Amino acid sequence: MIIIALFISSCTRAQNQPKITGEQLEAPSAWVDSVFKTLSPDQKLGQLIMVTAYSHADRIQTERIAELIRYYHIGGVMMAQGGPQRQVNLVNYFQSIAHVPLLVSMDAEWGLSMRLDSTISFPRQMPLGAINDDKLIYEFGLEMARQLRRVGAHISFSPVLDINSNQWNPVISTRSFGSDKKQVAERALQYMKGLQDGGVLACAKHFPGHGDTDNDSHTSLPSLFRSKAALDSVELYPYKQLIPAGLCGVMIGHIGVPAYDASNSPSSQSYAISTSLLKNQLGFKGLVITDDLLMKGANGNFSSTESAVKSLIAGNDILLNPESVPATIYSIKTAISKGRLSWKEVDAKVKKVLAAKFLVGLNKNRLVSTKNVITDLKLDAAKYLNYELVKNSLTLVRNQKNLLPIIDVEKQKIGAVSIGAELDNAFLNTLAKYGPVSRYSVWMNDEEAEYEKLYQSLADMQTVIIGLHSIDTNVKDNFAISENARKLIVRLSKTSNIILAIFGNPYCITNFDYLPAILVAYDDNALAKSLAAQAVFGGIGLSGKLPVTVGVGFKKGDGVATKPTRLEYAMPEAVGIQLSDLNRIDSIAQDGVNKRAYPGCVVLVAKDGKVIYEKAFGYHSFENTVPDKVTDVFDLASVTKIAATTQGVMRLYEQGRIDLNSTLGSYVPVARGYDKSQLLIKDLMTHQAGLTPFIPFYKNLASGDYNYDSSATFPTRVAQNFYIRKGYFNNVMLPQMLASRLNAPGKYVYSDLSMYFMQQVVQEVSGQPLYTYLKTNFYKPLGLTTMGYNPRSFLSVNRLVPTENDRAFRHQVVTGDVHDQGAAMAGGVAGHAGLFSSANDLAVLMQMLLNEGEYGGLRYFQPETIKKFIVYQNPEISRRGLGFDKPEVSLAERSYGSTAKEVSDETFGHTGFTGTCVWVDPKYKLTYIFLSNRLMSAEDSNKLGGMSIRPKIHQVVYDAILKVERSAKQ
Report, as residue numbers or ranges, the catalytic residues.
218, 291
Strand partners of residue 318: 289
Q: Cβ contacts of residue 545 below 8 Å, gap of 6+?
A: 130, 132, 395, 556, 557, 558, 559
Are the CB atoms for 207 and 267 separated by under 8 Å? Answer: yes
Give the integer Cα–Cα distance in Å for 953 and 789. Answer: 28
Kindly provide the b/e burial profile for residues 96-108, where b requires at least 16 CB atoms within 10 angstroms of the residue's own CB. Answer: eebebbbbbbbbb
b/e per residue 281-294 (b: at least 16 CB within 10 A): ebebebbbbbbbbe
- Contact yes or no for 835/644 (Cβ under 8 A): yes
Check if the beta carbon of residue 325 is closer than 8 Å to that of residue 74: yes
Q: What Cα–Cα distance (Å) separates residue 758 from each residue in 557, 745, 820, 821? A: 56, 17, 17, 18
**Contact predicate 634/914, CB 8 Å:** yes
Distance CA 745, CA 692 (A): 11
Q: How many residues does the chain have?
A: 970
As a whole number of angstroms, the distance between CA 273 and CA 261 comes to: 7
In eight-state DSSP terms, residue 281 is I
Q: How far apart are CA 869 and CA 364, in angstroms?
A: 66
Measured from the Cβ of residue 383, the count of other Cβ atoms closer than 10 Å reads 15
Region of residue 394 (phi > 0: left; psi between -120 and 50: alpha; otherwise: beta)? beta
**Bridge partner list, 273:** none
Are 694 and 751 spatial neighbours (Cβ–Cβ below 8 Å)? Answer: yes
Strand order in the sheet with 249-252: 287-290, 249-252, 201-207, 155-156, 103-106, 76-79, 49-53, 319-320
Which has the closest alpha carbon to 155: 93, 76, 218?
A: 76
Inter-helix orientation angle 181-197/134-150, to 10° = 40
Other CB atoms within 10 Å distance of the CB of residue 235:
24
CA distance 87 to 147: 12
Nearest to 604 by CA among 122, 926, 315: 926
Ordered alpha helix ranges (H), 436-564 = 448-458, 483-493, 526-537
Residue 649: DSSP 8-state: H
Per the CB < 8 A criterion, the answer to whether 332 and 45 are in contact is yes
Q: Which 3 state secondary structure label does DSSP give 145? A: helix
Q: What CA–CA distances, in Å, run from 766 to 302, 641, 665, 864? A: 88, 18, 16, 22
Residue 641 neighbours by CB under 8 Å, 6+ apart: 755, 831, 832, 883, 910
Would you say 95 and 69 are in contact if contact means Cβ atoms under 8 Å apart? no
* 223 DSSP 8-state letter: B
Query: φ and ψ at 702, to 5 degrees?
Result: -85, 160
Taking the CA of residue 448 as centre, how many other CA atoms within 13 Å lie in the half-sphere pointing to its CB?
2
